[in-house]
């Protein structure tokens, strides 16, 4: 099941804080019919209580998402930030991390999407794959890397 | 194999808890434990616990209340940064 799409990939995106980047990435999902109008606000609210920042070995990423009631179809929006945005760390809300790449997900059926989830998290756990994402400069390069590792 | 039952908790009770459930089952099996995993969100913990006997709670999102069931911080399993530590913490509870 494909969850990475050309329309859902962006680079050099500027944002001041988590809310702004969630809105920007959420807008991409909304415009292309992946989520309902209620999605963006739901993700913002959820991120405040259950933050999704993750500090890995070489980089920090975030995987904002929300419940299936706000979703129309499954997808992963991959956004590389122009400069890092501070997110709180998952499971440890007092720890802050400087996030460079966002993987915002619209999840409809978690059971069906286990494979996608495993790939996204698998990406995070392999320094070589993280490097691929880090080194992608253009939107096309990022799309290719995302397709290769997440698909 | 010895059996155990683990409650996996994350914000929405879907994404992250499903991920760690899979890894916990796989890695605990290597240590001789057959783990049954149930996923839920922090709001669902109380009702799930009342419906069954769990040996431990694996948390990706913090569970602040004490339910009398030992908790393990499982974020390290999600990021892959400290999987062994998470398994070690689980084993200490299961075997201790």
Give A74-95 pLDDT, tens digit per residue: 999 999 999 999 999 988 889 9
Higher per-residue confidence, B46 vs A119: B46
Give B31-41 pLDDT, tens digit per residue: 999 999 999 98
Whether the complex's predicted ipTM is more than 0.85 is answered with no
Please provide residue A145's backbone torsions phi and psi, each rounded to the nearest 5 degrees: -65, -45
Whether pLDDT at B11 is above 80: no
- Helix, strand, coil % (nearest 5) of chain A? 40, 30, 30
Of A46, A68, A124, the CB nearest to B80: A124
Q: Do A13 and A47 meet the contact criterion of CB atoms below 8 Å apart?
A: no
Domain A6-149 has CATH 3.40.930.10: yes
Domain spans of chain A, in order of start: 6-149
H/E element holding B93?
helix B83-95
Q: With contacts defined as CB-CB under 8 Å, which chain A residues touch B59?
A: 91
Give which of A10, A3, A17 is closest to A106, Cα–Cα. Answer: A3
pLDDT for A53: 92
Which residues of A lie inside 8 Å of B (Cβ-Cβ)? 46, 49-50, 52, 54-57, 63, 65-68, 89-93, 105, 107, 110-111, 114, 117-118, 121, 124-125
Give which of B67, B57, B75 is closest to B19, Cα–Cα. Answer: B75
pTM > 0.90 = no
By residue range, what is the domain housing residue B33? 2-95
Dist CA A119 CA B57 (whole Å): 25
How many CB atoms sit inside 10 A of residue A105's CB? 25
Dist CA B50 CA B41 (whole Å): 15
Q: What is the dihedral of CA B46, B47, B51, B54, to 10 degrees?
A: -30
CATH number reported for the structural domain that contains residue B42 in this entry: 3.40.50.2300
Confidence at B17, pLDDT banded by 50, 70, 90: confident
pLDDT for B81: 80
Residue A4, helix vs strand vs coil:
coil
How many domains is chain B built from? 1
């Amino acid at each position: 099941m494909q969850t990475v799409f050309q329309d859902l990939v962006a680079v050099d995106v500027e944002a001041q804080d988590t809310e702004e980047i969630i809105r920007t990435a959420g807008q991409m999902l909304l415009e292309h019919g992946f989520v309902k109008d209620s999605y963006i606000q739901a993700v913002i609210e959820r991120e405040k209580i259950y933050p999704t920042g993750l500090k890995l070995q070489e980089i920090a990423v975030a995987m904002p998402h929300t419940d299936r009631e706000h979703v129309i179809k499954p997808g992963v929006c991959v956004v590389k930030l122009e400069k890092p945005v501070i997110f709180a760390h998952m499971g440890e809300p007092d720890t802050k991390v400087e996030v460079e790449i966002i993987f915002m997900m619209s999840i409809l059926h978690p059971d069906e999407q286990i494979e996608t989830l495993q790939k996204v998290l698998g990406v995070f756990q392999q320094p070589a794959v993280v490097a691929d994402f880090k080194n992608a400069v253009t939107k096309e390069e990022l799309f290719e890397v995302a397709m290769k590792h997440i698909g | 194999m010895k059996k155990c039952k683990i409650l996996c908790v994350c914000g929405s009770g879907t994404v992250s808890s499903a991920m760690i459930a899979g890894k916990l089952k796989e890695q605990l099996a290597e240590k001789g434990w057959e783990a049954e995993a149930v996923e839920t969100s922090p709001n669902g913990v109380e009702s799930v616990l009342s419906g069954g006997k769990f040996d431990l709670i694996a948390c990706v999102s913090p569970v602040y209340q004490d339910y009398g069931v030992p908790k393990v911080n499982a974020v390290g399993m999600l990021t892959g940064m400290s999987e062994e530590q998470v398994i070690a913490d689980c084993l200490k509870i299961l075997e201790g």
